[in-house]
Amino acid sequence: MWLNRDIVSIGDFTKEEIMDVIKRADEMVPYATSGHPRAPLANKIISTLFYEPSTRTRLSFESAAMRMGAKVLGFGSLESSSVAKGESLSDTIRILNGYSDAIVLRHPSEGAARLASEFSDVPIINAGDGAGQHPTQTMLDIFTIWKETGKVDGKHIGMIGDLKYGRTVHSLSKALSMFDISLYLISPDELRMPKHIKKDIEKSVPVKETRDIESVIEELDVLYVTRIQKERFPDINEYNKVAGSYSIRPALLSKAKKNLIIMHPLPRVNEISPEVDNLPQAKYFRQAAYGVPVRMAILDLILRGE
Ligand code: NCD
């Protein structure tokens, strides 16, 4: 069921399968800092193919692969690869099939990972396709909620920021709609969740949409903050209109539940004031660290199938 499976869209997985990853990731936590003692992926090679900037996703995949005993191949930069000579994505994928057992792909075009999976015999792991999907981020986001609060069901979860272009919230809202939760979509009008995604989620869970974080903060158990995706705006003037339109500060949190957790996929620009970092609610650095055990679990499942 898992062996050689592509990880393209979170909608390809059931709640039970997402929970399989979460439970396997929890078993990996002790090895995420020391390395897996049996090095179960010792004979495997993972390629990382990143056509867009990345710090956490790429390096946590590389760390996860190494902690499992696998080796990692990747470009230093696209300028140093044949992409700079105009090689197509499909050709690059075909070539990497000869060199590695799985390919982690980030690309600016929505649908690129699905397309790549059609040319690939080895699993394609979507590490972000434009404003589309980011399924492994979603798995680590759900792991964070589960690990830090004890469960996912029953939670009131708010997402604030760029719900229009943010692929993390597109994936995460879809996954959360499989759980028994309430969703709050908080954004300026210009950055609202695309209608087709909202409609889909509303079929399964209650959704409340608002511009005003103050009006819902006291109801939330989880606040998931996102960066405005400047690079996806067709017009910089449109970006300038919404830049800096929200920022999470300690004063806001005084109205929140005591055990609220604050998450962010990072990088942060100015959506969360640094004064929040040392508060007990701030979980975003821990969330980033969970990228390693969660990606260890994913690699283990798709490369060994058990
Ligand atoms: C996110 C992404 O690339 O979509 N970052 C990440 O993978 N942790 C979020 C972002 O860039 O804002």
**pLDDT, tens digit, for every residue of 275-285?**
999 999 999 99
Q: How far apart are CA 121 and CA 68, in angstroms?
A: 22
Q: Residue 183 forms beta bridges with which residues?
A: 157, 207
Is residue 285 within 8 Å of 56, Cβ to Cβ? Answer: no
Ligand 1 atom at minimal distance to the Cα of residue 229: 12
Can you tell me the distance from the alpha carbon of 145 to that of 221, in angstroms, rounded to the nearest whole number?
Answer: 10
* pLDDT at 269 (0 to 100): 95
Residue 6 has what pLDDT? Answer: 98
**Rounded Cα distance, 199 and 162, in Å:** 18
Cβ of residue 167 lying under 6 Å from some atom of ligand 1: yes
Model-wide pTM > 0.95: yes
Q: Specify whether the backbone of 71 is left (phi greater than 0), alpha (psi in -120 to 50) or beta.
A: beta
Give the number of C-alpha atoms closer than 13 A to the C-alpha of residue 130, restricted to the C-beta side. Answer: 13
**H-helix or E-strand spanning residue 289:** helix 284-289
Q: Report the nearest atom of ligand 1 relative to the CA of 56.
A: 8
From the CA of 222, how far away is ligand 1's center (Å)? Answer: 18
Give me the sign of the Cα torsion angle 82, 87, 93, 98: negative
Residue 38 CA, ligand 1 centroid: distance in Å: 32
Give residue-wise pLDDT tens across range 206-252.
999 999 999 999 999 999 999 999 999 999 999 999 999 999 999 99
Do the Cβ atoms of 124 and 297 come closer than 8 Å?
Answer: no
Q: Does residue 107 line the site of ligand 1, with CB under 6 A?
A: no
Q: What is the pLDDT of residue 198?
A: 98
CA distance 302 to 304: 6
57 close to ligand 1 (CB < 6 Angstrom): yes
Task: Report residues of the chain scoring pLDDT below 50.
Answer: none
* Burial label, 204 (beta-carbon count in 10 A; 0-12, 13-18, 19+): middle
Q: Whose CA is nearest to atom 12 of ligand 1?
A: 227
Our mutation pick for probing the ligand 1 site, out of 57, 228, 294, counting the most ligand atoms within 8 A of Cβ, is 57
